[in-house]
Amino acid sequence: MASPSTLPNTFPDTVPLFIGGEWVKSTSTTFTPVINPATQEVLSQVPAATDAEMDRAIASAKATFQTWKEVPVPQRARIMLNYQHLLKKHHDEIAEIISQELGKTFEDAKGDVWRGIEVVEHAANVASLMMGETVENVAGSIDTYSFVQPIGVCMGITPFNFPAMIPLWMFPLSIACGNTFILKPSERDPLTPTRLVELFEEAGAPKGVMQIIHGGAHQVDYLLEHPDICAGSFVGSVPVGKHIYRKGTENLKRMQCMTGANNHMVVMPDANKNQVVNNIIGSAFGAAGQRCMAIPNVILVGAAAEWAGDIAAAAEKIRPGAWSDKGAAYGPQTNAAAKQKIIAAIATAKTEGATCLLDGSDCTVEGYPDGNWIGPTIFTDVTRDMAVYKDEVFGPVLCLLTMDTLDEAIAAINEDFRGNGTSIFTASGGAARKYQHEILVGQVGINVPIPVPLPFFSFTGWRGSFHGDLHAYGKQAVRFYTETKTITARWFDDDSVSGPNMSINLK
């Protein structure tokens, strides 16, 4: 791995678009700076693609679909194998790009890349994943079987917080299924997806299979309204996800929208205190709280309420820092606006009556005076009507709530409109069984804090954290990116001819 002092700044002045298998400089006159959030250094400028550029990308994806869907499945799978190999080879380099444009610590950035590589490995199994079903003899000499076929041009809209993993949730599996794909990554960290697509091309993806366009709301709406796009995957915030789901379905597209979260951990008094404390620190403050599977709310049940001081003492020992600082627990917030929003949320919590055990709003990091730093922040005496609890703060801010019983905790969590992920820490199988059964949340950890499922399962957020029917990656994504064709066949083996069948029964 290169040390930060030896890292070359090889970023282009403007982030290119990838259209028809060519890297092209946008003719747009609207650009957004890509900023290193630890230093405020402008790394590049990302264009807002023009309508004409998007039309070219869509036309290329549409035309290429006709040939790509005919490429034999093992050949498509082999591209995924090559891609997995290249991603592993360039793993650290991609992680460094993430660290520069998003500020993640190097360790955390490597995790972002690795969790994406796992999905590519899964996509390499596409032949087994696309197997249909067969029943012989459904009626006299009649067999029924199904094929799973690709649907066409798919699109993906991704958030800033996992610039490698989340694009990799989408395009490899969609393309392995035989579709073509248009990615519109977050405008805050487009350099990582650019590198991912360069490597995809190097892995042997034919021209036109993959396109990248850049921009914001207008570009997304343009794609959602375009008749040649069949399906869209979105990951991002609740309001944007609702808008995208509505607009996509209104335009008769198949949509899956993974949205925001307000996750909870329940701590039972019989849990191992040290495990609880360590796991809370990692899941509340890791990645500066900028994970959809972060745990910003911990419900301490019964005597576990006494552990608030231990949690605060452990949090005091960690600090944010630059990506290359091995002592840093996490990096900066994504941008100055996010930092200010979190500082405002901390101030509001104080005025609403929460007790601040640890206040990170005035945080500095030596050598990085301009970074978007927020220190670990902890509130106790938090009630469920407070904004710091109700709203997704998406920063290193932990709310500690106390409740008397597990039933009370389950009821409170089930009342939140989101249902992305949750955890329970307990030594009781009975409490864990009750929790996993009764909680209305799609991803549950038992003594595991951030239950992001591996890609042979799917990412199954529920309720207000998801709009659609079929979830990201795993078998559900294969269903999402394909259509099932059911064939009922009879082959006549003699010349006997019976009369017309006037019923709908198979005879």
In the stretch 446-475, what mask flags binding to ligand NAD with x, by CB under 6 A?
Answer: -------------x-x---x----------
194 binds ligand NAD (CB under 6 A): no
User: First and final CA of the chain: distance in angstroms?
Assistant: 68
Q: Which of the stretches 89-97, 157-165, 197-205, 492-500 binds ligand NAD when contact is defined by CB under 6 A?
A: 157-165
Which C-beta is closer to ligand NAD: that of 58 or that of 277?
A: 58
Picking from 296, 316, 328, the residue whose alpha carbon sits closest to that of residue 395 is 296
CA distances from 220 to 18, 153, 156, 242, 262 (A): 16, 15, 9, 13, 25
In the stretch 365-404, what mask flags binding to ligand NAD with x, by CB under 6 A?
Answer: ---------------------------x-x----------
Which residues are designated catalytic?
Answer: 292
480 binds ligand NAD (CB under 6 A): no
The residue from 86, 87, 120, 220 that contacts ligand NAD (CB under 6 A) is 220
Q: Are strands 422-425 and 466-468 parallel, antiparallel or unpaired?
A: unpaired
CA distance linking residue 289 with residue 108, whole number of Å: 12
164 binds ligand NAD (CB under 6 A): no
160 binds ligand NAD (CB under 6 A): yes
The residue from 26, 174, 186, 283 that contacts ligand NAD (CB under 6 A) is 186
Which C-beta is closer to ligand NAD: that of 84 or that of 158?
A: 158
492, amino acid identity:
F
Q: Which of the stretches 151-159, 264-272, 357-365, 423-431 binds ligand NAD when contact is defined by CB under 6 A?
A: 151-159
The residues near 111 (Cβ < 8 Å, ≥ 6 apart) are none
235 binds ligand NAD (CB under 6 A): yes
Q: Which of the stretches 10-18, 40-48, 93-101, 214-222 binds ligand NAD when contact is defined by CB under 6 A?
A: 214-222
Q: Which of the stretches 2-10, 60-68, 184-192, 474-482 binds ligand NAD when contact is defined by CB under 6 A?
A: 184-192
Min. distance of Cβ 167 from ligand NAD in angstroms?
10
**Residue 105 corresponds to which tokens in the numbers above?**
């610590």
Which C-beta is closer to ligand NAD: that of 77 or that of 157?
A: 157
**Residue 280 corresponds to which tokens in the numbers above?**
């809370």
CA angle 117, 189, 92 (to 5 degrees): 40
Burial category of 486 from C-beta neighbours within 10 Å (exposed 0-12, middle 13-18, buried 19 and up) = exposed
CA distance linking residue 210 with residue 190, whole number of Å: 15
Cβ neighbours, 10 Å, residue 5: 6
The residue from 87, 124, 240, 343 that contacts ligand NAD (CB under 6 A) is 240
CA distance linking residue 58 with residue 64, whole number of Å: 10
Q: Which of the stretches 71-79, 183-191, 316-324, 408-416 binds ligand NAD when contact is defined by CB under 6 A?
A: 183-191
- DSSP annotation of 199 reads H
Min. distance of Cβ 80 from ligand NAD in angstroms?
22
Tell me how long the chain is.
507
3-state SS string for 10-40: CCCCECCEEECCEEECCCCCCEEEEECCCCC
Which C-beta is closer to ligand NAD: that of 56 or that of 418?
A: 418
The residue from 420, 423, 443, 460 that contacts ligand NAD (CB under 6 A) is 420
Provide the binding-site residues for ligand NAD, judged by CB under 6 A: 157-162, 184, 186-187, 216-217, 220, 235-237, 240, 243-244, 258-261, 292, 392, 394, 420, 459, 461, 465
